[in-house]
Amino acid sequence: MLITIDKSLSDRIWFTADSHFGHANIIKFCNRPFVDIDEMDATLIDNWNKVVRPEHTVFHLGDLTLGDQTMAHHYLTQLNGNIHILANPWHHDKRWINNYPGMYTKHGEIEILPPMGVAEMPYGEGHPHSITLCHYPIAEWDRKHHGAWCLHGHSHGKHKGEGYIFDVGVDNTNFYPINLGGIFDVMFGMGWA
């Protein structure tokens, strides 16, 4: 899978992962600051919709919910944006991802992407800048040694890899999606130029 990203839309392209909607134990496992799943789910939906507009694009890198298709649809229909979800059929999303066809949000059909992909973004001279998208943190990715980025979830802010790698999961982004502009800030903070 190859996606082209337009840097000029950096305030309209969002990344997130590990929502775990409807998953009560994630509050305890990750020490999330919520009393119960109702508060957690309401906060995550509210935070998402505060920053994501209907015409924006969101890449969700997996672990949306432990629930089935009905539960996934319940949450997705409350979220703004054109949502693209990396398939993670071996983990939490396995209960709904294979029954995806015909699932819609309030803004259009959900697009299920392969478990790993590369986004390219024209940037400067020469080859486009490469951004690997994967649910799991990985040690090596396309053009890593040429300054390429890797965005992932799964580790809930605990993975510290080498290179320009960043966990976009909600536990690592103050329970909000992060836009491409925010990713640039993170990478500049890591010394990327």
Mean pLDDT of each 10-residue bin along the chain, 193 residues long: 82 97 95 97 98 95 86 90 81 63 61 87 83 95 94 92 96 98 96 87
**Cα gap 129→187, rounded to integer Å:** 13
**Cα gap 181→97, rounded to integer Å:** 29
Q: What is the pLDDT of residue 125?
A: 77
Residue 174 buriedness (CB in 10 A; 0-12 / 13-18 / 19+): exposed
What DSSP designation does 21 have?
B
**Cα gap 109→105, rounded to integer Å:** 6
Q: What is the pLDDT of residue 108?
A: 65
Instruction: Enter the tokens of residue 79.
Output: 């979220």
**Cα gap 53→133, rounded to integer Å:** 22
- Classify 54 as helix, strand or coil: coil
Q: What is the pLDDT of residue 111?
A: 80
CA angle 184, 167, 138 (to 5 degrees): 110
**Cα gap 32→25, rounded to integer Å:** 10
Residue 123 buriedness (CB in 10 A; 0-12 / 13-18 / 19+): middle
- Classify 94 as helix, strand or coil: helix
